[in-house]
Structure 1
């Protein structure tokens, strides 16, 4: 908590003022978390001050809140390009990223529990910077980072607004991907990447994670001499298996049961059946499967697409198929996506004959 407050004071996050008439101060609270690595080992204990953003009022405390993040497909494309061109791959993390955002609205917050100044108990905090919990905090951070990285000469990709590229005249180039406070930097010059790191560190409080080894719960394994990169979600799969009590289930070898056909006739027909199925964590399980599907497991795409049709009115047979997919993941948790050295030509596949196509 003291480390967090030190960071807030250093960033000049707020100033103590009298609450204006007609305005209401938003509350705040401490959130504690134990940070662990992919192996489950404790890295550190973390305390974060969070604003109770649910008390904000539109048009008064916030307006626009949308903030983009880099697409997972973009991350995979850049990793594939890095393998083919043998690029450097580095990872950075922004400490307390949301504290760097500049607020456009005037927002007042109550003083922090445990750090209330004795002689100024009647004052409130007028926020100068965004804080975690504010509805507009992600947008404020993105706007601040976007303006800074563009000022360095980077160009924003029109297809993905969290992908930036820099093309030097002397043949060097660099690609930067941003996912909230996580960054991946790929380039053909380690010297330039080091310069970029220094520029970012002067503007933001950064943590240099060196070579990429994990991103968004995906483990990145690189064999540079063999020109290969593997993407794995083994730890994520094991976590969802444990969450839905399928860790000791019997594995199956196919992602979809061949003898079972899904249809709307299997949906509940009575109020009693609907009440029973409403207790099943169907939506949560399908959501977890979707994240694995779009990240590293395209082999379950057809099966996940089939079960997602019945999210609003699921039956017992539909839940059995979801558990079947989890059993398939149980036996294939070690499967990885592999990118190896090849050319950068675009290759497409179709499952039907195209006639009259030009």
Structure 2
């Protein structure tokens, strides 16, 4: 009998309904020693303020990511030729009813990757998970590209400072992000108070509401955003609710009149060549999805991010 040898690279020619459901059909990492970019799941939604279900996001995004192929049709980038990429699994939790303890689990997991020079590309989970990731990757205040319907710079909610509407306020307070090199794109939706918008703008963050994005166009937004973040270390966080619910209904806090999926892809491709320390896709909630379309959007965003991260890593 032929000896079993685990696959060392994704088999892009296997039927897309076959095999283990890993991110992009990449092999499961047996260690971090031979990994350049680690794809990880963060199945946690204990910091939500509205509709639950994002804890199931990583599993369904893995399923839908089997539809991804190797070569990007727009950029002709094949990330698997540029870097060693693997699914490093899900962050293990031991106190899911304690937000701060869970955040520490996330930080500790990602810190192991960073210590081995592995770039993390994660799938959440609610948006609170960006804070503990930043604690692991930001050895100095980093630039931030934040694509979202909400600024996520509100303060406490129901007594918690670590809810999913507050990660970038906490990150600013902790000196993890440079507000002068932070751009928030696609912001929209009525609020009962202007606290989050006000905090971002007063801290010096560049807030681009959706009306500005639509009026100026993606190319102009990308050009200014690249000027804002500069050439230093940058982290990109993509909330799926930045996309209009016509394209991505399965999320906790949907807001109408958002980005189209085409605009979302163009944004990410516009941020090629930056000095990335990591990226995330968050807030995919399969229980509210329709036909897997939100999970597919999340998987496609993750693939586009993988392409820009692989380019960045290969040129270092």
Q: Comparing both chains, which one has the higher relative contact order based on Cα–Cα distances under 8 Å and sequence gaps of 6 or more?
A: 2
TM category (shorter chain) comes to under 0.3
Q: TM-score, normalised by structure 2?
A: 0.22
